[in-house]
Structure 1
């Protein structure tokens, strides 16, 4: 069994942030299909019944769970083709797939959209991730998943803050699926590594842990135990952007999360290390196309689809 360092796993989970996490309930009759197109990240929890995939679900990691003895073992047999009640399925949209119901089936389907900096973490995950016995591994998260998604959205009243709560619920279930997959021996050897360079991974982790710190190139280079010039070149080559650009990206993603929780523009600006609200607003607008105050208002009043 491949074990994942708990600190590394904690960093990955802390870095996964969603822009959108909208849940819906899908009831399928026998033979009914749920098409999932490419380009869309989707989390599916099988609340009841069972499904099989087109193409067949032959990749992934099977976990045999004994809840009474609290034993989890990785099973080397081929992954069976059916997902049953209590299983979870995550696709990042690298290819299209359809789930077909074997009988009357109830699914919770969560449409996901990752933030910019979280997209890099998502790229480290295989596609798809299938967690058998998710309900036994993560009973609290499974109970939350089973309660998500209105059966009749037209009768579900919208209230201020609902999009925030929906996104937080979706993120909790998503993180639990990733944790169940990684912590129980399904992750490949060496996972996770953002850059395949332990020194650069250390830098990325520091930025995510303290996005509001005054991160000069010199300070980041010292975290990675490199000279300024060597660090800047290696970072751009591995991450695909400059250190300063990455710091700004992480800060803006953190700002989106804080603003969507109702934090004020000034409070967010100060916590993220900006010298003024004006400077923060300029950086935020360059990334999002709108000011922090306008973005905050749209998040707090938006109605989930």
Structure 2
């Protein structure tokens, strides 16, 4: 796994919603609604869904190979699917099935934006046995007995996050993310920023690394990366800030390490990109 992927997964903000265990009879179905991120793990039986053209990616766990898919696809026991809610998806079973369905909210980020609408992971249980074991224990138990131990809500949230992260990692491990930068000069710039996000990166400095004039560099960078060089530097810094805050670093420590002139400037940048204050992000990470 690349350093970039490790940082992206560490900064992925997942908030658990509902968890349900469904027993589908022969001919039964479940609906994954539009507008909601949903994870489905198949405990037994089979389910089939019809994916829109160009909306899905299938990851083969034993090989790690991934490919775009569309049309009718069938999942078997031990497989998983993650829908970002781009469209309503109906999953039906011909012979019956038992599935775990988890809803969640994922804060928009670079890796989330690059995900296809639906990710199918065949052989998820073999690729991520620990996450699959956790998934099998989500939701009400088959015997109907409830577990009322203290801390269950926190434990369940951690389990859901682990399963969702594993599904994202399975997709990303195919090499689909991050998309390779074709221009070797721009790739050199991106690598330098990733390696030292706290450096005082000026446009002139970045342009010199790319061996281009300032004007040409800014234009080519925006065309290739979809954002300005300054926007990219800020994006990398915020990802690193999320990782450090998750690890328990203080807001002031992170602000200084990432080259911000003041804590207030860092707070404004962090809130603008994530929607919450860095102190709130840190507190939520420490209590998750």
TM-score interval for Structure 1 and Structure 2 normalised by the shorter chain? 0.7 to 0.9
Q: Which residue number in structure 1 is paired with residue 186 of structure 2?
A: 200
Q: Structure 1: which 5+ runs fail to align? A: 1-5, 66-70
Supply the distance in 1 between the matched residues of 2:180 and 2:120 (Cα, whole angstroms).
Answer: 22
Distance 1:128 1:210 in 2: 34
For 1:168-247, what aligned pairs fall within 5 Å after superposition?
169-170=162-163, 172-179=165-172, 182=174, 193=179, 197-247=183-233
SS at the partner of 1:237?
A: helix
1:15 and 2:8 correspond: yes
* Distance (Å, rounded) in 2 between the aligned partners of 1:95 and 1:230: 40
Aligned counterpart, 2:39: 43
Number of corresponding residues:
278
Unaligned segments of structure 2, at least 5 residues: none
Structure with more strand by fraction: 2
- Normalised by the length of structure 1, the TM-score is 0.70
Contact 1:36–1:98 under 8 Å retained in 2? yes
Q: Deviations over 1:99-131 (max 9, x none)?
A: 224414122535351443334xx42x4443322
Q: Which residue of structure 1 aligns with residue 84 of structure 2?
A: 92
2:106 pairs with one of 105, 113, 125: 113
Question: Which secondary structure does the structure 1 equivalent of 2:206 belong to?
Answer: helix
CA distance in 2 between counterparts of 1:43 and 1:233 reads 39
1:83 is displaced (CA, Å) by 0.6
RMSD between superposed Cα atoms in Å: 4.1
Structure 2 vs 1, CA of residues 97 and 198 (structure 1 numbering), >3 Å: closer, same or farther?
Answer: farther
1: distance between equivalents of 2:209 and 2:118? 34
Going from structure 1 to structure 2, the CA distance change for 1:88 and 1:167 (only over 3 Å counts) comes to: closer
Which residue, 271, 274, 277 being the options, matches 1:291? 277
Higher relative contact order (CA 8 A, sep 6+): 1
Q: Residues of 2 paired with 1:74 and 1:251: CA distance?
A: 30
User: Deviation at 1:288?
Assistant: 4.4
Pair 254,101 (structure 1): closer, same or farther in 2 beyond 3 Å: farther
2:129 alignment partner in structure 1: 139
Residue 151 of structure 1: which of 136, 140, 156 is its match?
A: 140
SS at match of 1:81: strand
Quote how far apart the aligned CAs of 1:232 are.
1.0
Q: Which residue in the other structure is 1:68 paired with?
A: none
SS at match of 1:131: strand
Maintained 8 Å contact 1:43/1:91: yes
In the alignment, is the contact (CA less than 8 A) between 2:50 and 2:73 conserved in 1? no
5 Å matches for 1:259-274?
259-274=245-260
Which residue of the partner structure matches residue 23 of structure 2? 28
Question: Structure 1 residues 287, 83: closer, same or farther in 2, change over 3 A?
Answer: closer
Pairing partner for 1:130 from 100, 116, 120: 120
* Offset from partner CA, 1:164-210 (integer Å, 9 cap, x none): 84575245413442255x16xxx6xxx75266544434433443343
Query: Structure 1 residue 234: deviation in Å?
Result: 1.6
Deviations 1:239-290 (A, max 9, x none): 3332112222332233234334432112222232223323322322444455
In 1: Cα distance, 2:6 partner to 2:22 partner: 30
CA distance in 2, matches of 1:64, 1:19: 24
Do the aligned partners of residues 209 and 105 (structure 1) sit closer, same or farther apart at CA in structure 2, a change above 3 Å counting? farther
